[in-house]
Amino acid sequence: MSYVVDITRYPSPGALHHIIAAVSAGLTQPERDRDLPGIFERELQRLLAVRAVRLREIPVRYRPRLVTPTRTAESVVLGVPTTDSRTQAVLEASCGPDRSLDHADHELLAAAAHLGGLVLELARTRGQRRISTDGAAPLIGSSSVMQELRERVERVALTGFTALIEGESGTGKELVARQLHELSGRSGGPFVAVNCAAVVETLLEAELFGIEQGTATGVKGRRGKFENADLGTLFLDEVSDLSLSAQAKLLRAIQDVAIERVGGNNLRRLDTRIVVATNRPLAGLVAQGLFRADLFYRLSGVEVHVPPLRERRDDIPELANYFLSRHRQTREMRISAPAMEALRAYEWPGNVRELERLLESAVALAESDSIELDDLPPRVRGEFAEIVGRSLDHGHSMRAWASRYARLVYERCGHNKRRACRRLDISYHTLQAYLRYGGPALPGQSVRQLPAWVTSASQPDAIAAEAIDEADA
């Protein structure tokens, strides 16, 4: 197979000079450090000054996960030439909110995609393959907590220690585990994920450690997950759901980094890194007697906490736009400002996974190409639609909106004015003025309808406005 490239379309060769030089230097490195695709990714990321660059191959048998080439101002996915018909090779690049990809960047990435094909071919001839079967998203977010998380992941990835990832369900613990694998020296090896909650306890030993041929009638010998992850990373998800007996079996394997197949007599030593995850703090389970203390101390020490979405609300617009871009080939969508503010105000008990599924539903069901407030489920738009949405629709003044918000906080504080003042960080007289100001009438209301607990509702607007201004002064 041959490829014809019109070099006049791309930037000068000098733009890729440093990448070519770095890859060439990588050929002289020891075999264990010769990660040519990783060198290519790092140098291209440095050249473009973007957040993430990824060169990967996806087996064709995972057809639902194959990638459609796309180009936007925030990200680009390009096809990479490959001689292996069993895989699809792609080059992905994404940038943060303070950076956008222009025409020159797209042209440079197009040239880099062809170079990436050569890098993959070199890696293939040396037994290094960047196979990815997940199509997983990178760690999206530019907030301070996400920057700290990425820095911690990078530091932990450089070690070979057992790592414990804690976080609520749906926060992206498996994505963090995959980042630990891909940034480590084991990136050329397998990444094997096991959902401990889904494994039947009676089959746990055979699933993790394997089973010998002829152990029982009709049983075929096979390798377990530990052996499959040799020279790579074994990810044990929801390890807190294991029974105490299963924890004892796991403890021995982690402690010795060796396994014995069911029905076997030989101890097999492995070179496998263990990464575990849980959505419940293990320290609390140890105190309750639900988790073995010796296993906890074996797993803890190198810990990574994945923050819930409600603690990084500033990342919601970036996440939402990323998920919509993944479905651009299905439908081009955008999110209106009121809908985006409702997403930011929601508590997200299901975290990033809930956000992704919500946007998939909106892409499928929205009547227009813009996701509006009414396209969101009632649980999401909730009080935002009741308090803020109506004010936006009817052009209410800032004073009317602030008055409505003050009344809502006052009600939530059990009609305790001092507590409401502390929550709102305003004076007692300012709160009084906001409560007196009823605001404009809403559609269907002939007169202002104020709660029974609000006094002096008949005070004229002008007097109330003066009281607010005077109190604020």
Question: Domains of the chain: which residue ranges?
Answer: 7-125, 144-305, 396-473
Distances (CA, A) of 372 to 299, 309, 351: 45, 21, 21
Distances (CA, A) of 260 to 46, 135, 206, 226, 462: 45, 33, 10, 10, 83
pLDDT in tens, 390-447: 666 667 777 877 887 888 888 888 889 999 999 999 999 999 888 887 555 444 444 3
**46 CA to centre of own chain:** 23
Is residue 77 classed as helix, strand or coil in its secondary structure? strand
Which of 186-200, 248-262, 290-304 is most confident? 290-304
Predicted confidence (pLDDT) at residue 62 exceeds the cutoff of 70 = no
pLDDT in tens, 12-40: 556 788 888 888 888 877 654 567 888 88
Strands (E), 82-240: 87-94, 163-166, 191-195, 233-237
Q: Are strands 75-80 and 87-94 parallel, antiparallel or unpaired?
A: antiparallel
pLDDT at 469: 44
Higher pLDDT, 262 or 349: 349
Cβ pair 270, 259 in contact under 8 A: yes
56-65, 84-93, 158-167: lowest mean pLDDT where? Answer: 56-65
pLDDT bucket at 388, cuts 50 / 70 / 90: low
Average pLDDT value for the chain: 79
For helices 428-436 and 461-472, give the axis angle rounded to 10 degrees: 160
CA distance 465 to 376: 35
Q: Which residue has the tokens 């990464």?
A: 275
pLDDT at 20: 87
CA distance 403 to 152: 43
pLDDT bucket at 7, cuts 50 / 70 / 90: very low
CA distance 95 to 176: 19
Predicted confidence (pLDDT) at residue 155 exceeds the cutoff of 60 = yes
CA distance 59 to 84: 10
**207 CA to centre of own chain:** 28
pLDDT at 171: 93
**Rounded mean pLDDT of 322-337?**
85
> What are 211's strand-pairing partners?
222, 262
- For residue 104, the number of C-alpha atoms closer than 13 Å in the C-beta half-sphere is 5
Residue 47 structure tokens: 């050249």
0.75 exceeded by the pTM? no
Cβ pair 397, 416 in contact under 8 A: no
Predicted confidence (pLDDT) at residue 464 exceeds the cutoff of 60 = no
What percent of the chain clears pLDDT 70, i.e. is strictly above it?
A: 79
178-192, 203-217, 453-467: lowest mean pLDDT where? Answer: 453-467
pLDDT bucket at 455, cuts 50 / 70 / 90: very low
pLDDT bucket at 311, cuts 50 / 70 / 90: very high
User: What homologous superfamily does CATH list for 7-125?
Assistant: GAF domain (3.30.450.40)
**Domain spanning 144-305: CATH 3.40.50.300:** yes
Measured at the CA of 191, the angle between CA 116 and CA 51, to 5 degrees, comes to 45
Predicted confidence (pLDDT) at residue 190 exceeds the cutoff of 50 = yes
